[in-house]
């Protein structure tokens, strides 16, 4: 069986290592931003804002380093966001829950 990878998929695959490398520090910075200087842990109702902010911040950070523009840049950003939300869901949940306990 042959697997055919499109050019769009290849652009995403090349950035998976960067997502892996940056996700922990991005979760830290987003969590602190959402706390807005308040030392108490975020509430569970803030979880969706946390996950979407992590995905958006990380996707924008990665895409800003590319030479892409226009639709290709937007497409890659959206693919990275979906990849983060789908594949790093458990990482983000574990991080958020560990901060609730502290």
Q: Where are the domains of the chain?
A: 7-101
For residues 28-57, average pLDDT: 93
Residue 60: strand, helix, or coil: helix
Which pLDDT band, with edges at 50, 70 and 90, does 2 fall under?
A: low
Q: What average pLDDT does the chain have?
A: 86
> Do the Cβ atoms of 55 and 84 come closer than 8 Å?
yes
8 Cβ contact partners less than 8 Å away, ≥ 6 residues apart: 75, 76, 79
pLDDT of 44-93, one tens digit each? 999 999 999 999 999 999 988 888 788 888 988 898 899 999 999 999 99
Out of 7-16, 27-36, 73-82, least confident range? 7-16
What pLDDT, on a 0 to 100 scale, did the predictor assign at position 92? 94
What pLDDT, on a 0 to 100 scale, did the predictor assign at position 82? 93
Query: How many other C-beta atoms are found inside a 10 Å radius of the C-beta of residue 89?
Result: 12
């Amino acid at each position: 069986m042959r697997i055919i990878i499109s050019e769009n998929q290849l652009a995403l695959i090349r950035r998976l290592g960067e997502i892996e490398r940056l996700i922990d520090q991005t979760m830290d910075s987003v969590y602190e931003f959402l706390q807005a200087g308040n030392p108490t842990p975020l509430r569970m109702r803030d979880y969706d804002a946390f996950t979407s902010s992590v995905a958006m911040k990380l996707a924008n950070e990665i895409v800003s380093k590319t030479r892409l523009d226009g639709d290709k840049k937007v497409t890659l950003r959206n693919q990275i966001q979906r990849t983060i939300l789908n594949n790093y869901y458990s990482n983000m949940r574990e991080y958020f829950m560990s901060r609730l306990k502290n």
